[in-house]
Amino acid sequence: KAGVTQTPRYLIKTRGQQVTLSCSPISGHRSVSWYQQTPGQGLQFLFEYFSETQRNKGNFPGRFSGRQFSNSRSEMNVSTLELGDSALYLCASRNQGAETQYFGPGTRLLVL
């Protein structure tokens, strides 16, 4: 079974731009979560989607948004990028009712 895939793997943007990251979960997994990883703050939860509905949200500004499609694929969007948004963005999927999350390789975003 294929693992969680994320595209693109690397991205360079400039301040003020927006970016969309994509995540395809493990086949059959309907829950997708997004995390931001930075050296200073570590791993922080962004949001979780289940069956196209946002179920949980972390403490991030409204510039960070996401959505999930009927095939469980998810996208997250960051608008009006700031330098501090430079990070590794990780996506994780899990089975309904299960606790274990499986992570993708991440998208490394650099904001200049």
Partner 1 sequence: GNSVTQMEGPVTLSEEAFLTINCTYTATGYPSLFWYVQYPGEGLQLLLKATKADDKGSNKGFEATYRKETTSFHLEKGSVQVSDSAVYFCALSDEGWAGNNRKLIWGLGTSLAVNP
Tell me which residues touch partner 1 (CB under 8 A): 4, 6, 31, 33, 35, 42-45, 48, 50, 55-56, 58, 90, 92, 96-97, 99-106
DSSP of 27-86: TT--EEEEEEEETTTEEEEEEEEETTEEEEE-S--TTEEEEE-TTS-EEEEE-S--GGG-
Q: How far is the CB of 104 from partner 1 (least distance, A)?
A: 5
Q: How far is the CB of 80 from partner 1 (least distance, A)?
A: 25
Q: 4 or 21, CB closer to partner 1? A: 4
Residues 56 and 84: their CA atoms lie apart, in Å, by 23
Q: How far is the CB of 66 from partner 1 (least distance, A)?
A: 14
Q: 51 or 80, CB closer to partner 1? A: 51
Q: 13 or 105, CB closer to partner 1? A: 105
Residues 96 and 60: their CA atoms lie apart, in Å, by 25
